[in-house]
Structure formats: C-alpha cells, structure tokens
Amino acid sequence: MMQTLICEKPGSLEYISRQIPVPAAGYALLKIKQVGICGTDLHAYQGDQPYFEYPRVLGHELAAEIADIGPNEYYAIGDRVTVIPYLHCGSCIACRQGLTNCCSQLKVLGVHLDGAMSEFISVPVSQIVKGNDFRFDELALVEPLAIGAHGIRRAAVQAGEFVLVMGAGPIGLGLMAFAAMTGASVIAMDVNEDRLAFCRENLSIPYTFNPLTEDPIQRLNQITGNDLPSVIIDATGNLGAINAAFQYLAHGGRYVLVGLQKGDILVNHPEFHKREAVLMSSRNATLHDFQFVMAAMKSRSVQPENFITHRVGFDAVKASINSWLDPGSKVIKAMVQMY
C-alpha cells in the first residue's frame, strides 16, 4: 500500500491508502521524490481551475526515480527522471504537426488524470525524461520552467524588444528568465510588492511596477520611450488584467496568454485592429522545451533553486496549503518532499 493525497472537492484534501499501481506494457512505475506546487494545484483546490473534475490527485511538477520498467535500451531502475505530464493521442491534427502540447484529446496528470501527490505513480515510458545529472529540485522545476520557455518561443521574442510579463508567480518568473536570455528588455508587472522585489533581487529584472500604485500606460511609455511593449505575456490568469493589457500593447505587437481563467476576453476591436496586433495562447510545453530548459540549467543560464521559497514534507501538505494562498506567506514555489 502507498499514501496518496486526494482533492475530493474544492477546499478538501485527504490522505488515503491505495494499492501501488502495477505498470502496464509501455508504462513505468515511478517512486516520487519531490513535487512542486503549481498555480494549477492551488486553483483546483480553490475550485476555479478550468478542465478540472473531482476527486483528483494533484501534482504534475515532479522528480522521481524509476522503480520498475520493462525491457528497454535507454532507461534503468534507479534512473532519475521528470515527466512530461501532458498525455497526447498522437493522431489528431495537432499531434500530427508535432503540437503535442495542445492535442485535441489531451489528458494532463493532476488535472484530467491522477497526478504525483502519491508515493508511486505509473506513467507511459514515452513521457519520461531522464536526468541523472540533475538534483531532484531541478527535475521538479523543469516542467514549470518549460511552460515559460514555450511561451517565449511562441512570442518569438527578439533581442532589444521590450517584453511586459504580467504576473510574477513561478510561471511569470520563468517567462522573465527566458525572455532575458534572448536579449530582450523585461518589464515585470505585479500587484505584490514582495514578488516585484524578488524579480529585481533574484532575476535582475530592470523594470518593475505595481499597477495599483502606478498608472500602467504612463509607466510603460516612460520605460519604452512612448513605444509601449512589442510583446505582452500574461501569467496572471486574471480577467481584469488580461482585458486591460490590450491597451498596453505597441502597434504591430504580440500578446500571448499563458495564464488561464474561465471568463470571456473583452477586446475593443478598433483598438486591436489599428495595431494589427497578434493575439495567441500558449499551452503547456513540448519535449523540445523540456530539453531547452535542462540545457539552460546545466549551463547555469537559469538557476531553479532561486525559485524555491518553501519546503514541506508530504504529510504536511494538507495543513500548509491554505497558507500558500495568502500573499503574506511570500511563497514563490513550494516544494513537497515525499517519503
């Protein structure tokens, strides 16, 4: 038997005992070592996560060791791995184009399927990414950083551009780090002063501001010489912030939605049209993004340990989760240490 933490309904987490899964053909049994707490997990716990059904075992940012695997030429029991948690069909129009991150039949661990808040999990071997040269902290952060890398790739950020990233949570910080790697000038916007300080002190972001205390258009014009940012990326998932940002965009600019919410986006057509603007979404990540992030970690171009602010044991998650919803906790990334 193994211990599992299940979100039975919004606001309710319970520890239960389950049988250790027996991996089917083409699957591996993983012993979970660490799990990162994501905004998706917190939104699911609060009851406002799209695409979600209860009850569900949360967790899709994971580091693990292979506990059991069938005959193969690449993996061995004991290998350190992370997992691409987006299970795709392989045959739909998106998959045929290599866009496995937005498969029409996509099933995500911790959202559509039970995730990693368990001592063991069985996953398709095709979703495993080996990382014996990495610490478990690093492996557990590959997935959220890959989402940031994918967003920057979608935006086609170029050196010298001004890039506004709205939201300085873990995904937003990853977006900022990878935007900065392109040579762009990064602007961080958040309503939390502690997170803005984190941007300056840990990522050396040159421009930060709080839209509650400064007029966004005035501040952005000041920073960009009245051009406004040519790229805006939302990592807030806040409908008000998303709608307001259309007026922050430069003419000819690109607006990328990484954050996710349930409402309808409101666009003033003349304002959007006169800019000949591009609006796009950025969903999940691909193997390419995982490999890019791991190469950046290895070269120390990105330092994932800077993102971890809180650590708890698996048995303390239920008691701790409400504190992570409090901005006063100053949490950036909470990391769960499994047994």
pLDDT in tens, 27-73: 999 999 999 999 889 989 998 888 788 999 999 999 999 999 999 98
Torsion angle, CA of 197/201/203/205, rounded to 10 degrees? 60
pLDDT (tens digit per residue) in 125-136: 999 999 999 999
Average pLDDT for residues 161-172, to the nearest whole number? 97
What residues have CB less than 8 Å from 12, skipping those under 6 apart? none
- What confidence tier does 261 reach under pLDDT thresholds 50, 70, 90? confident
pLDDT for res 304: 87
Say whether pTM exceeds 0.75: yes
How high does pLDDT run on average in the chain? Answer: 96
Opening angle at CA 326, ends 138 and 168, nearest 5: 50
> Mean pLDDT across the stretch 239-245?
97
Question: How many CB atoms within 10 Å of residue 51?
Answer: 13
Q: Mind listing the domains of the chain with CATH numbers?
A: 2-132+303-337 (3.90.180.10), 148-281 (3.40.50.720)
pLDDT at 157: 98
Please give the pLDDT value at position 53.
Answer: 86
Q: Coil, helix or strand for 96?
A: helix
pLDDT confidence band for 165 (50 / 70 / 90): very high
pLDDT value, residue 51: 79
pLDDT digits (tens, 9 = 90+) for 325-339: 998 899 999 999 997
